[in-house]
Amino acid sequence: MSSSTVLITGATSGFGLASARLFAEHGYSLIITGRRLKRLQALADELTVPVHTVQLDVRDAQAVSDMVDALPERFRTIEVLVNNAGLALGAGPAWEASLEDWHTMIDTNVTGLVNVTHKLLPLLRQQPKASIINLASVAANWAYPGSHVYGGSKAFVSQFSRNLRCDLVGTGVRVTSLEPGMCETEFSLVRFKGDQQKSDNLYKGTNPLRPEDIADIIFWIAQQPPHININSIEVMPSSQAWDNFKVVRS
């Protein structure tokens, strides 16, 4: 059992929710954040460890800063930051994408993650041992049609994680870029703008990763002894792999 605190962004669904439950099972105190307050409250009611809930949009740098400044004393010993809040919007070709969707992905996956990390670094550095676990994606490493800004934003997360390591080496703060492939959460429902049928069809017959699989990996990373830094982990369901390069012939 642990007496430490984990801060999870995007704990209302998917990886964030599954991770909150797993860390709670192991006695961690939790700071859970997300925009959907009712879901945060329901999660807090379900858990038996100390939980601090904050309705937070990670895109709002001032709100992120205020949230951290207002943390009750018992929640300030943060040992694990799970930078999980993120989204994809649209899966069609770039020329059909809305600029607003592109901005939303950059604002959330890039700027939001930077907002939280920047504000938390001084607190994390006070710990003898801490972990930042950033949710990137296989889309950070592998190009595919319709990934355009989403994949670009996750490539930022991967490289930012590596660059952070260079600055944080020797401080006790470890950094990991976690790069999952297809996992059934609300991710595709969001990507397909609420079209449940499209989301179900994507996962049909694939035996995709489950949020609990990713939570297990996040928890395992956080449990590594101080002399180990897991730089990156790429994980796919067995049913997913890469495809060939495309060649257009005239």
Q: Name the β-bridge partners of 6.
A: 30, 80
Q: How far is the CB of 87 from ligand NDP (least distance, A)?
A: 5
17 CB contacts (<8 Å, ≥6 apart)? 11, 39, 43, 211
Q: How far is the CB of 182 from ligand NDP (least distance, A)?
A: 5
Please indicate whether residue 203 is annotated as part of the active site.
no
Our CB check for ligand NDP shows the closer of 170 and 205 to be 205
Q: SS3 sequence, the chain? A: CCCCEEEECCCCCHHHHHHHHHHHHCCCEEEEEECCHHHHHHHHHHCCCCEEEEECCCCCHHHHHHHHHCCCHHHCCEEEEEECCCCCCCCCCHHHCCHHHHHHHHHHHHHHHHHHHHHHHHHHHCCCCEEEEEECCHHHCCCCCCCHHHHHHHHHHHHHHHHHHHHHCCCCEEEEEEEECCECCCHHHHHCCCCHHHHHHHHCCCCCECHHHHHHHHHHHHCCCCCCCCCEEEECCCCCCCCCCCCCCC
Our CB check for ligand 8X3 shows the closer of 123 and 182 to be 182
> What residue is closest to ligand 8X3 based on CB?
137
Partner in contact with 168, chosen from ligand NDP, ligand 8X3, none, beta carbon below 5 to 8 Å by kind: none
Partner in contact with 15, chosen from ligand NDP, ligand 8X3, none, beta carbon below 5 to 8 Å by kind: ligand NDP
Residues that bind ligand NDP (CB under 6 A): 9-16, 34-36, 56-59, 84-87, 108, 112, 135, 137, 180, 182-183, 185-187, 190
> What residue is closest to ligand NDP based on CB?
14
C-alpha 33 chain-centroid distance: 12
Our CB check for ligand 8X3 shows the closer of 68 and 105 to be 105
Q: How far is the CB of 110 from ligand 8X3 (least distance, A)?
A: 14
Q: How far is the CB of 125 from ligand 8X3 (least distance, A)?
A: 29
Partner in contact with 90, chosen from ligand NDP, ligand 8X3, none, beta carbon below 5 to 8 Å by kind: none
Residues that bind ligand 8X3 (CB under 6 A): 137-139, 147, 181-182
Q: How far is the CB of 81 from ligand 8X3 (least distance, A)?
A: 20
Q: Which of 28, 144, 150, 203 is catalytic?
A: 150
Our CB check for ligand NDP shows the closer of 34 and 90 to be 34
**Spatial contact of 53 and 40, defined as CB atoms under 8 Å apart:** yes
Our CB check for ligand 8X3 shows the closer of 75 and 187 to be 187
| Positions marked catalytic | 150
